[in-house]
Amino acid sequence: MTIADRTVLVTGANRGIGQALVEEALRRGAKRVYAGTRQPLAHVDGRVTPLILDVTNAEQIQEAVERVESLDILINNAGLALYDDLSDRAAIEQSLAVNLFGPYGVTQAFLPLLTRSRGTIVNVLSVVAFAPLPIVPAYSISKAAALSLSQSLRALLAGQGVRVHAVLAGPVDTDMSRGFDVPKASPESVARAIFDGVEKGEEDIFPDPMSESMAESWRSGAAKALERQFVALVEAEPVKSA
């Protein structure tokens, strides 16, 4: 999969990693970049088509689908991180609404276009999917759930030629991590690493120095082996109805 001449859709495209993904897709010669944002966006490059797209809004998702003629790469990047302590159920519900049901809803809606193009889905997740960061436990729950969603979609869509990549990012220097005082990668370097990973066909992408340090142990570890074992099991013996 190369980015040149492809059609790409990025959610949360107005700032942070999403904005960097739009610029990097253009730099790599994308034919069209749909920039999904909650507020109207203007872009100097004529290849960018803005779409009003709150990923929790089913009507806006449907309207976006109707405006997109074809799609090769869907990047579910939009995300929300709240500081919480698990005392408020609403924080978990809000995190799941944006970070789990957001990518779920957008993916389901664009699936006909993606299966037609034998396209690619990129879900921007976080290393907190592996182990919770207890200052953002609701966010961590939602990213762990979104990793599981990505793994199941990967298995379920492989037969239709659709690839699913999970991006397990460490800290990135954006508004989201402003209150978190640790070394951070630039959004531009992360965007480059995400597209490099997609072009190389890496199913799990570790796009920054912090996450990169765990890539090898993840790829050769017990959880990954079990993911493959379960896929093989289902391929060998498809689910029988009761």
Catalytic residues: 139, 143
**6, 8, 9, 11: residue in contact with ligand NAP (rule CB under 6 A):** 11
Query: What's the Cα-to-Cα distance from 11 to each of 98, 135, 156, 195, 207, rounded to whole Å?
Result: 11, 25, 23, 15, 18
| SS3 (DSSP) at 235 | helix
Tell which one of 24, 54, 84, 204 touches ligand NAP (CB under 6 A).
Answer: 54
Site string for ligand NAP, 185-224 (x = CB under 6 A): ----------------------------------------
How many Å apart are CA 34 and CA 43, to the nearest integer?
11
Q: State yes or no: residue 79 binds ligand NAP (CB under 6 A).
A: yes
- Rule CB under 6 A: choose which of 78, 121, 153, 194 binds ligand NAP: 78
The answer to whether residue 171 forms part of the interface with ligand NAP (CB under 6 A) is yes
- Choice between 177 and 189, CB closer to ligand NAP: 177
- Min separation Cβ 242 and ligand NAP, Å: 38
The residue among 130, 198, 200 whose CA lies nearest residue 168 is 130
- Residues 115 to 144 in contact with ligand NAP, rule: CB under 6 A: 124, 126
Structure tokens at 31: 């034919």
- Binding segment for ligand NAP (CB under 6 A), chosen from 107-115, 152-160, 174-182, 224-232, is 174-182
Of 51, 145, 151, 162, nearest to 102 by C-alpha is 145
Q: Which of residues 56-75 bind ligand NAP (CB under 6 A)?
A: 56
End-to-end Cα separation, the chain, in angstroms:
39
What is 59-114 written as a DSSP string? HHHHHHHHH-S--SEEEE---------S--HHHHHHHHHHHTHHHHHHHHHHHHHH
Q: Residue numbers of the site for ligand NAP (CB under 6 A)? A: 11-12, 14-18, 38-39, 54-56, 77-81, 98, 102, 124, 126, 169, 171-172, 174-177
